[in-house]
């Protein structure tokens, strides 16, 4: 047996979509987390409902490396459709567990990996009678086998089953029976545990497991949202599903039992964003959630919200494009589309969360920023962050926190005005005018909301000077926003290298690990995680203080780099792209390899 690897391996499950494997695989992953060891799961699934291959990949890392890693140490393959690919993906010396109810064809045999045959279907058929349960319990049997091979504490699995089936106690006993079938078979036929295994640690502390879409929904609840309008699209649908779930708990009047929220499934994405704009114009905090194709359809109304200056919050869970693309794969390919959504000169505030905790915090902050700057704010998550569970700090909320509704005139302020109210007049020099909510005053504060050019009193005009004053004021407002959006995160007290690297969103998981590896080969980089657009002074100073800056992003066309060239006028030779766009989350090895090659090739 080779050197024992403790809490440091990647395991992948190859299943058929729609066979009930998701709950079994999640049970496995969460059991390791319950043992105090950091894990990061990736659900790689097809866009059809049932029948095609699906994979569930779990990285176990005591060091807390939460980015995806290439190479599979242990493959659990119960899907003949993908077996050729699955066998090839196993690292030399790794393990391949398969259902030996039928013989393994010789074309799947390699002489440099270890095969583990367990008659999963046969064991399940002999122990259970109902056909559907036989398929489901086959999955639980391999979880039991893995607990023996990898030394996972059996009591942890039993406890989790008790939690999962609370109120359905009759399901607990057969699930435990299935687990024991797997354990007993390993004990009788194999040496165990293997040279890769799990040991209990205290490496997760108070952290929780949560997906980004659920965190966004909770952020909307706590951020004051009462209206959601949407059209279902992968991978954002579960944002509004979760919002509905929590609104029914937290947005219901205790005395009357009436809902203090509204959720509208619109006929399409354009209608959805129109409803959101209308609700915000009328004083509610409203949002929508979509993905790239939906943003494309929403462009026209996003331009209206920008030009008419109406608060709007959009959660964009990015997927692989263009067109339909790969709906169930991840990318960061909507950067330019969202930054400049709509025709004409527009600029939109973008926020880039990197964890479910930041999804919660930034979604809540989006409503404040949208109100403060009377403009669309787009939260840029992606499928990896939105639909996968992540180890993340617990969500916290200060009940004393007050919402920032920005410059809103009430009836008393309107009565106190000595001059005529100008909806688009900059009285403070920050580019932000004062708005009113419909119905605030019987005779004052009314204006016409329009997408056409107007003067400071919102009166239609085609005067060029008036138009220019208005759009120039919007740029003043944009520059003001630079001081209020989340600042970048720096990973050094002061710059120490002539090389820099920046990244955003889910690229942060792999980037941190890659930077550590680069340091070990004497390539030192200062690093910055970007949290928002527009770019502030700290961002610009970081770029200016380095000879080369590597820009890590998950799209083909280096969209974030292009955004920097447009906004900063940076010398293109200074910005070196580090790209990944195959639909899977970027890895540390990918970043390491690209940066190392670029540095050595200078």
- pLDDT value, residue 197: 97
Q: What is the pLDDT of residues 303-361, one digit of tens each?
A: 999 999 999 999 999 999 999 999 999 999 999 999 999 999 999 999 999 999 999 99
Residues 260, 343 within the same domain: yes
Instruction: Give the Cα separation of 463 and 345 in Å (integer).
Output: 18
Cβ(527)–Cβ(518) under 8 Å?
Answer: no
pLDDT of amino acid 16: 87
Q: Which of 325, 358, 392 is the last residue of a domain?
A: 392
Q: Is residue 1 pLDDT above 60, yes or no?
A: no
The span from the CA of 73 to the CA of 91, in Å, is 6
Q: pLDDT tens-digit profile of 512-528? A: 999 999 999 999 999 99
Arithmetic mean of pLDDT over the chain: 96
Mean pLDDT, rounded, for 191-199: 97
- How far from the centroid of its chain's Cα atoms is residue 548's Cα? 29
Question: Other C-beta atoms within 10 Å of 482: how many?
Answer: 18
Residues 124, 99, single domain; the answer is: yes
Mean pLDDT of 363-367: 98
Question: Averaged over 248-274, what is the pLDDT?
Answer: 96
Q: Confidence band (pLDDT; 50, 70, 90) for 131? A: confident
Residues 48 and 191 reside in one and the same domain: yes
Bridge pairing between strands 72-77 and 196-197: unpaired
Asked if residue 27 is part of any domain, the answer here is yes
Q: Is residue 451 domain-resident?
A: yes
Q: Do 217 and 246 contact (CB within 8 A), yes or no?
A: yes
User: Residue 337 is part of a domain; what is its CATH number?
Assistant: 3.40.50.970
For residue 539, give its domain range: 489-600
Q: Which of 80, 70, 66, 71 is nearest to 29 (CA)?
A: 66
Is residue 366 located within the same domain as residue 420?
Answer: no
Measured between alpha carbons, how far is 143 from 56 in angstroms, rounded to an integer? 13
Q: Is residue 46 domain-shared with residue 182, that is, in the same domain?
A: yes
207 in a domain, yes or no?
Answer: no
The values of phi and psi at residue 205, to 5°, are 55, -130
H helices of 165-211, where? 172-189
**Residue among 211, 63, 204 at smallest CA distance from 513:** 63
pLDDT value, residue 17: 81
452 and 358 within one domain: no
Do 9 and 58 fall into the same domain?
yes
Q: Identify which of 503, 475, 500, 477 has the alpha carbon closest to the alpha carbon of residue 489.
A: 503
Q: How confident is the model at residue 49 (pLDDT cuts 50, 70, 90)?
A: low
Is the per-residue pLDDT at 50 higher than 70?
no
User: How far is it, in rounded angstroms, from Cα 578 to Cα 317?
Assistant: 22
259 with 368, same domain? yes
Within a domain: 400: no
Asked if residue 160 is part of any domain, the answer here is yes
Select from 433, 452, 481 the last residue of a domain.
481
**Distance set, CA 122 to CA 23, 24, 126 (Å):** 21, 18, 6
Q: Using 50, 70 and 90 to split pLDDT, how confident is the model at 30?
A: very high
Residue 28 shares a structural domain with residue 83: yes
Residue 449 inside a domain? The answer is yes
Residue where a domain stops, chosen among 361, 392, 423: 392
**Residue range 444-448: mean pLDDT, rounded:** 92
In the chain, the number of structural domains is 4
CA-wise closest residue to 456 among 423, 492, 493, 501: 423
Residues ≥6 apart with Cβ < 8 Å to 47: 234, 326, 327, 328
| Mean per-residue pLDDT, 44-69 | 90
The proportion of the chain whose per-residue pLDDT surpasses 90, expressed as a percent, equals 95
Q: What is the pLDDT of residue 47?
A: 83
Q: Is 383 a domain residue?
A: yes
Query: What count of other Cβ atoms lies within 10 Å of the Cβ of residue 521?
Result: 10
Helix-strand-coil split of the chain, %, nearest 5 = 40, 20, 40
- Do 250 and 326 sit in the same domain of this protein? yes
Question: Is 157 part of any domain?
Answer: yes
We report the CATH number of the domain holding residue 537 as 3.40.50.920
Instruction: Please report, for the domain that includes residue 17, its CATH number.
Output: 3.40.920.10
Please give the average per-residue pLDDT across 187-196, as a whole number: 97
> What 8-state DSSP symbol labels residue 574?
G
Are residues 473 and 584 both part of a single domain? no
96 and 74 in a common domain: yes
Q: By the 8 A CB rule, do 124 and 138 touch? A: yes
């Amino acid at each position: 047996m080779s050197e024992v690897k403790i809490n440091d391996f990647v395991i992948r499950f190859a299943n058929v979509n729609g066979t009930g494997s998701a709950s079994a695989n999640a049970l496995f992953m969460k059991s390791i987390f319950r043992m105090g060891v950091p894990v990061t799961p990736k659900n790689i699934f097809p866009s059809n409902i049932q029948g095609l291959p699906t994979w569930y990949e779990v990285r176990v890392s005591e060091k807390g490396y939460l980015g995806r890693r290439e190479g599979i140490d242990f493959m659990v393959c119960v899907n003949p459709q993908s077996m050729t690919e699955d066998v090839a993906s196993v690292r030399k010396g790794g393990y391949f567990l398969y259902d030996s109810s039928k013989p393994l064809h010789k074309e799947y045999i390699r002489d440099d990996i270890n095969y583990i045959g367990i008659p999963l279907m046969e064991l399940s058929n002999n122990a259970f009678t109902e056909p559907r349960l036989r398929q489901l319990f086959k999955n639980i049997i391999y979880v039991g086998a893995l607990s023996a091979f990898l030394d996972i504490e059996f009591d942890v699995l039993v406890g989790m089953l008790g939690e999962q089936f609370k109120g359905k106690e009759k399901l607990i006993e057969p699930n435990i029976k299935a687990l024991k079938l797997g354990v007993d078979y390993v004990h009788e036929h194999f040496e165990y545990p293997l040279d890769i295994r799990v040991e209990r640690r205290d490496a997760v502390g108070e952290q929780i497991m949560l997906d980004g879409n659920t965190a966004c929904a909770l952020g909307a609840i706590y951020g004051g949202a009462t209206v959601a309008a949407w059209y279902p699209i992968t991978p954002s649908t579960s944002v509004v599903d979760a919002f509905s779930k929590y609104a029914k708990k937290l947005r219901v009047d205790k005395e009357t039992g009436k809902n203090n929220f509204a959720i509208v499934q619109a006929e399409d994405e354009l209608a959805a964003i129109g409803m959101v704009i209308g609700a915000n114009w009328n004083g509610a905090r409203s949002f929508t959630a979509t993905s790239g194709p939906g943003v494309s359809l929403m462009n026209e109304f996003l331009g209206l919200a920008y030009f008419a200056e109406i608060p709007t919050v959009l959660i964009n869970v990015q997927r692989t494009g263009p067109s339909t693309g790969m709906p169930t794969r991840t990318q960061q390919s909507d950067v330019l589309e969202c930054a400049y959504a709509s025709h004409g000169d527009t600029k939109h505030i973008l926020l880039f969360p990197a964890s479910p905790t930041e999804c919660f915090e930034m979604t809540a902050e989006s409503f404040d920023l949208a109100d403060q700057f009377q403009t669309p704010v787009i939260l840029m998550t992606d499928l990896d962050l939105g639909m996968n569970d992540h180890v993340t700090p617990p969500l916290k909320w200060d009940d004393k926190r007050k919402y920032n509704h920005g410059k809103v005139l009430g009836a008393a302020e309107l009565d106190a005005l000595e001059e005529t109210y100008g909806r688009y007049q900059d009285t403070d020099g920050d580019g932000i005018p004062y708005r009113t909510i419909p119905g605030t005053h019987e005779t004052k504060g009314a204006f016409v909301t329009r997408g056409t050019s107007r003067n400071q009193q919102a009166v239609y005009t085609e005067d060029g000077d008036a138009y220019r004053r208005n759009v120039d004021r919007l740029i003043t407002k944009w520059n003001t926003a630079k001081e209020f959006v989340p600042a970048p995160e720096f990973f050094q007290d002061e710059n120490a290298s002539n090389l820099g690297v920046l990244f955003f969103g889910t690229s942060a998981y792999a980037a941190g690990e890659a930077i550590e590896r680069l340091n070990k080969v004497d390539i030192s980089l200062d690093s910055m995680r970007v949290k928002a657009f527009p770019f502030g002074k700290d961002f610009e100073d970081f770029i200016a203080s380095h000879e080369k800056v590597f820009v890590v992003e998950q799209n083909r066309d280096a969209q974030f780099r292009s955004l920097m060239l447009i906004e900063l006028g940076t010398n293109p030779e200074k910005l070196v792209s580090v790209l990944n766009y195959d639909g899977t989350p970027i890895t540390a090895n990918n970043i390491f390899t690209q940066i190392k090659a670029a540095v050595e090739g200078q």
